[in-house]
Structure 1
């Protein structure tokens, strides 16, 4: 059985919108405010995560965004991302933009539940801030990995801003990434001891 892992970059106040600044939103480009050394450490973390994942699960917009940035790249990380199976949740998309992708057209909860039964290992969700709340509300998420960037925006779409109801999480790991980023790993359930590495 597969394991759904949400892997996101967030600001200290939980904003995920426009990390690179290409949407032109107020506060956009916040990802680039981290030091080059911190972004290098982050890239190594993400490379390892991609090598260990079995598949990606994305929304339509994320499929387009990643395809325009990764299809022209090469190297171990890019080759892994471009080659791994991808599943794109969309009611309107006919042909995904990223390579090796399949559109999941049916009801989201049923499609993702069936996907978890078919795929062994980690199914990682990048970006897809409209898909994540649905997955959380329907208890389909096994783990959240949030890389927190040390900036407060005060405005912008938040990753968990639209999730309905109380969702208890348990912190299972805290890790410094570079000198300024923090990786927080949560699983479903009540609070318990957390490791610090």
Structure 2
């Protein structure tokens, strides 16, 4: 049985947009090794359309000495989109209908991690569908001030409330901290429960 695992870079104020502007000043040997171990343990990638298109435009031409690029280019890739008509990146499949059922089937037939990079809208949907098994948040010691956030309460598809369990922490020499959480399922069946409870408590 496979696990769907989110891996994302985020600033301390929750911004995940344009990590190239704030992340690469914090590269360290231990963080690079963690990333390499992660991709080696993966058996597939699951991506939203925007992230997929960005990766497909850059990764095919990349090479490195440790095999990270080869893994990215050779792993099976599944892109969830109702608008994408062609997926040209090597070993790619479009999931355009019955996404929940197809992803559940993918988990059952995969022995290992199914990695999700970025793909904020997809992550929120996976969380609401109880399909997300683990969240790995690499928190960078910077404040972006503005930019898209993984969980934005103002977005139309925001997650109202979801309980998480801390499954692990790892501090890298660069100052980046990797926080690993597992969704508990709490609140997802009734996303308004936490808000109603808070409002009731506030009223005394």
TM beyond 0.5: yes
Corresponding residue number in structure 2 for 1:132 = 123
Corresponding residue number in structure 2 for 1:101 = 92
Instruction: Determine if the alignment matches structure 1 residue 65 to structure 2 residue 21.
Output: no
Q: 2:162 aligns with which of 167, 181, 184?
A: 167
Q: Structure 1 unaligned runs (5+)?
A: 21-28, 191-197
Q: Structure 2 unaligned runs (5+)?
A: 186-204
Structure 1 or 2: more helix by fraction = 2
Q: Distance in 2 between matches of 1:151 and 1:35?
A: 10
Q: Distance in 2 between matches of 1:42 and 1:67?
A: 24
Q: Between 171-180 and 135-144, report the one with greater CA deviation.
A: 171-180
Q: Distance in 2 between matches of 1:143 and 1:69?
A: 26
- Rg (Cα) greater in structure: 2
Q: 2:40 aligns with which of 39, 51, 58?
A: 51
Q: Distance in 1 between matches of 2:178 and 2:17?
A: 18
Instruction: Determine if the alignment matches structure 1 residue 183 to structure 2 residue 178.
Output: yes
Give the length in aligned residue pairs: 179
TM-score (norm 2): 0.82
Contact kept, 8 Å, 2:10 with 2:140, in 1: the verdict is yes
Q: CA RMSD, aligned part only?
A: 1.7
TM-score (norm 1): 0.84
Runs of 4+ in 1 over 4 A off after TM superposition: none
